[in-house]
Structure 1
Amino acid sequence: MRRAEGGGAAYRRGMEWFVAEDGWLGRAVFLHALAALYVVAFVAAARQGPALIGTRGLTPVPDHLRRVGFRQAPSVFHRWWSDRFFLAVCWTGAGLAALTLAGVTARLPLVASTAVWLALWALYLSVVNVGQLWWSFGWESLLCEVGFLAVFLGNAAVAPPLLVLLLLRWVLFRLELGAGLIKMRGDPCWRDLTCLHHHHETQPMPGPLSWFFHHLPGPLHRVEVAANHVTQLVVPFGLFLPQPVAGVCAGIMLVTQLWLVASGNFAWLNWLAVVLAASVLPDAFWAWLLPRPVQDWLVPAQAGATPYPWAGAVLLVTALVLVLSWRPVLNLVSPGQAMNASFEPLRLVNTYGAFGSVTKVRHEIVVEGLDEDGVWREYGFRGKPGPPGRWPRQYAPYHLRLDWMMWFAALSRRYARPWFPRLLRRLLEADPATLRLLAVDPFDGRRPEAVRALLYRYRYTTWAELRATRACWHRDLVGEFAHPVTLATAEADWA
């Protein structure tokens, strides 16, 4: 791929070990796909951040910065905070990512290309480190870790560094193995292969096909779980074998992740796993799959000699990652394995896992406002279940943060304690930023007389109920989650 003759060799004599000759297209596909996920992440932050963590947000950043110092959570916002500056950071990140997706960054000189990727990583890390519980999900640290490694993949004119591509495999290995181990150590239903009898119904944010996945035959659910165990506990070890074995193992993971994409909304977790797996696939696969014009666009330049300073930087980063990996590795082998944890503030090497336990019953919080006629009207959320007849939408890789936290709040009131009273107050104020987080405002921007929250037990309808009602959900009232409040009592102790 794209190797020039003579002085344009892809590497200097004696540096053959440094170059991944079979990684030109894989690197390019990976970087463009990662840029697309960066666009999604920054746009989601810009659209939701002011209402969640802004100066009048549900958990304001200025309050957080008074408690947490720069060393604990490095961020540009320690230097200066305003809602406008936050939006400037987000839209700058989205713009840089869009230019990278369009292929501009790959065509810049090596120093400039590296600077763009470094800026993307630093800006998004700054958002995550002040995002508090809203940015506490595993895929946030995963994007930071993968984004940091992307800084050292080079531009289109530098041969793909083998060591960095191997570090990407190391991330994918820990992501899959960590998820597999947390399941085997956690809920017994993973060991008796019955978790999928419940998971599609009780997962945080079902997708449009989740109802159908839930109604697959029980034996097929068991096959799904068994296949998942093989994919997460056995297949990852093949990532470090020679091609084509590594590519086959990555392909198995990629297909499994697409299956998960179809069955639910998990932000960019599954998509980032797909992107990591794509970086492992050999160039022969991409050359077969992609038309030649697309290949020429992805790899636009002939390779020049690898600069020695660049090779030195790659070696230093590789050594750093290996040193920082010891705590995640200890966590993997520990009986008390932590799930989705970062061990240092830059989130360079993290530990991952998902669904160590599976809830068997789904509860949902329904928020209602009282109109002037004494009628309670339901607010509609974008992604989480609401009215029984509203079919779930597909939002991933976009992340609806408030909807996800509402799922956690329904599990336990302690998850809601830091922010739920303020959410009720913002609804009473008809706060425009908060209302933009919702799909339906039954008051069309007017203030309600009071608001309350009810707790419902949700279950999927049967095939017969679906045919009769066209509704995918059935719900029964469990009780009151938050008693009716007015502006005078909105932030009183409701716990």
Structure 2
Amino acid sequence: MTYAKSAWLFGRGLGLVFLVAFVSWHAQQAGLIGERGITPATELMGALEARGMGYLDVPTFAWLFGASDGALHAICVLGELTSVALLVGALPGPMALLATLLYLSLRVIGGPFMAFQWDILLVETGWVAALFLPWRAFDGPKALTEPPPLARWALYALAFRLMFLSGAVKLMSGDPAWSDLRALDYHYWTQPLPGPLSWFVHQLPSRVHEASVLTTFLVELVLPWLIVAAGLERVIDRLVKRRVSEMRRRVQTWLLRAPGLGFIGLMILIALTGHYGFFNLLTIVIALPLLDDALLERLPVSGDARRARLERWIPDALATIPLTLGALALLVGLGAPLPEWSHGALAKARRFHLTSTYGLFAVMTTTRREIELEGSLDGETWRAYRFAHKPGDPRALPGWSAPHMPRLDWQMWFAALGEHRDSPWLRRLMNRLLEAEPTVLALFAEDPFDGQAPRYVRARVSAYRFGDWDLLMETGQWWEVEPLGPYAPTLTRPR
């Protein structure tokens, strides 16, 4: 079987994901880590420099160009241009490498706002893509080439680790919500950013939610092992040099097709019922190389020529690095002991996100708290700062945000899981609101003071949960809301 078409799709898809990621971050960057942002990157770089650190410690182009608003803007623009080049097939291998280095540069100085698993996953995928994609001027739709086999299996190994660990952590956590199949009774209303369909899916019978949990376990814990089975089949065939019958070849093909289609299907369902930035799109792109050319025969692209020897040998030789590091990361994720020699290598690799462990929702949240930020001119009349995407108005159905990643809204969800002192950036956010900082106010859907600086800013917290059909019909509310009181001390602007 050949995989030239899915490799071509992968390159285009990865270019799209990088473009979405850069554009989404660029729109928020000034308010998050700009010079007048919540956690300025200039302060971080100054602290790192004072500690004698350099690029090998924190791999960012900010060491060369600085972390001013202009420098960060330039990194984003270059990343967007690189992503477009990758999307259209211009210099795919080099563009994948450059996009990875640029996104890594932002990731490591993005503080809590660039600390999501899919940010790390995008960088790791980019490293492997630089080996998987061809290093030539243009990867056109009529001259496709087979990807290097070991580089292809490095992507398969990444897909395996991502999906299998996502299932394994749920069982390893010991959370009864997963073992009792009740996790989805909570998930749709406690997830960080519900979508417009989340409320309706939550109303389905518990039996449907239980079946959905079982389906999730099937996709995350069983289907990944078909990739391993396919690999073992190919190794055995080569070692014993046995003739492969047509029936056996079809079975081997479906050993890869089934997990590929299963992963893609699960990601589509998750994307329809919650918003996780570009994570679902990225995971779909990672799964594409599992699909062979015969399955994609209607795709209007052609060619399956083998690359020149050096074009195959060099990427395949280098692909042993992510394969080895990925195996070590898998052991870490499963809590297995590592050989002594591997600790230092793994620590250095993680600085560059060459490998990582993954796994969302190991422990299911069973309550939801929402933080509301309010300002006042006189200390008596309070007005709320309305967020663009996170729940607030109980009469508002959750909106649509994906594949955009609203990072402040997401971090407010994490902050609400703990106390205000656990999220020191929140106090800095409140101080910026006292100053009516335009770049920070741009992160909100509405500034209740139209640019005027309030005298006071406070944070209050309420418990939220989805209501039922009766509540919706009687009051028009999608959410049940119970005020819980102050979340953080009120801040006052000096006169």
TM over 0.5: yes
**Which residue, out of 282, 290, 297, partners 2:292?**
282
Deviation at 1:319, TM superposition (A): 1.5
| Separation in 1, partners of 2:259, 2:146 | 24
* Counterpart code for 2:266: T
State the secondary structure of the residue aligned to 1:75: coil
Which residues of 2 match residues 12-161 of structure 1 at below 5 A? 22-68=2-48, 69=53, 70-81=55-66, 82-101=68-87, 103-105=88-90, 112-152=91-131, 153-154=133-134, 155-156=139-140, 157=143, 158-161=145-148
Which residues of 2 match residues 326-405 of structure 1 at below 5 A? 326-334=327-335, 344-371=350-377, 374-405=380-411
Deviation at 1:83, TM superposition (A): 1.1
Residue matched to 2:242: none
* Counterpart code for 2:416: A
TM-score by length of 2: 0.86
Residue matched to 2:170: 183
**Which residue, out of 183, 186, 189, partners 1:198?**
186
Q: What fraction of aligned residue pairs are identical, expressed as a percent?
A: 32
* Counterpart code for 1:367: L
| Separation in 2, partners of 1:327, 1:286 | 33
Deviation at 1:311, TM superposition (A): 2.2
Which residues of 2 match residues 433-452 of structure 1 at below 5 A? 433-452=439-458
| Separation in 1, partners of 2:194, 2:16 | 23
Q: Which deviates more, 29-38 or 154-163? A: 154-163
Deviation at 1:99, TM superposition (A): 3.1
**Which residue, out of 272, 283, 286, partners 1:262?**
272
Whether contact under 8 Å (2:60, 2:104) holds in the other structure is yes
Residue matched to 1:109: none
Deviation at 1:439, TM superposition (A): 0.8
Whether contact under 8 Å (2:194, 2:273) holds in the other structure is yes
State the secondary structure of the residue aligned to 2:218: helix
Query: Alpha-carbon deviations, 1:428-485, whole Å to 9, x = none?
Result: 1111111111112111222222111101011111111112222211211101012322
Deviation at 1:309, TM superposition (A): 2.9
Give RMSD over aligned pairs: 2.1
Residue matched to 1:325: 326
Query: Alpha-carbon deviations, 1:110-158, whole Å to 9, x = none?
Result: xx44322211111011111111211111101110011111112214454
Whether contact under 8 Å (1:59, 1:418) holds in the other structure is no
Whether contact under 8 Å (2:331, 2:337) holds in the other structure is no
Deviation at 1:414, TM superposition (A): 5.5
Alignment CA distance shift 1:305-1:161 (3 Å): closer
Residue matched to 1:272: 282
Deviation at 1:487, TM superposition (A): 1.9
| Separation in 1, partners of 2:328, 2:38 | 33
Q: Which deviates more, 181-190 or 52-61? A: 52-61
Alignment CA distance shift 1:124-1:415 (3 Å): farther
Residue matched to 1:488: 494
Query: Alpha-carbon deviations, 1:337-396, whole Å to 9, x = none?
Result: 9xxx99521111211001011111110000111145942111111111111112211212
TM-score by length of 1: 0.86
| Separation in 2, partners of 1:87, 1:55 | 12
| Separation in 2, partners of 1:113, 1:236 | 28
Residue matched to 2:233: none
Deviation at 1:410, TM superposition (A): 0.5
Whether contact under 8 Å (1:193, 1:222) holds in the other structure is yes
Residue matched to 2:309: 308
| Separation in 1, partners of 2:256, 2:95 | 30
Deviation at 1:273, TM superposition (A): 1.3
State the secondary structure of the residue aligned to 2:295: helix
Deviation at 1:488, TM superposition (A): 3.0
- Unaligned regions of 5+ residues in structure 1, if any? 1-20, 106-111, 490-495
* Counterpart code for 1:130: I
Whether contact under 8 Å (1:342, 1:349) holds in the other structure is no
Alignment CA distance shift 1:168-1:235 (3 Å): same
- List 4+ stretches of structure 1 deviating above 4 A: 302-305
| Separation in 2, partners of 1:335, 1:209 | 39
Deviation at 1:279, TM superposition (A): 1.9
* Counterpart code for 2:124: E
Query: Alpha-carbon deviations, 1:145-188, whole Å to 9, x = none?
Result: 11111112214454322222211111110011111011001112
State the secondary structure of the residue aligned to 2:451: coil
State the secondary structure of the residue aligned to 1:423: helix
Whether contact under 8 Å (1:458, 1:474) holds in the other structure is yes
* Counterpart code for 1:47: A
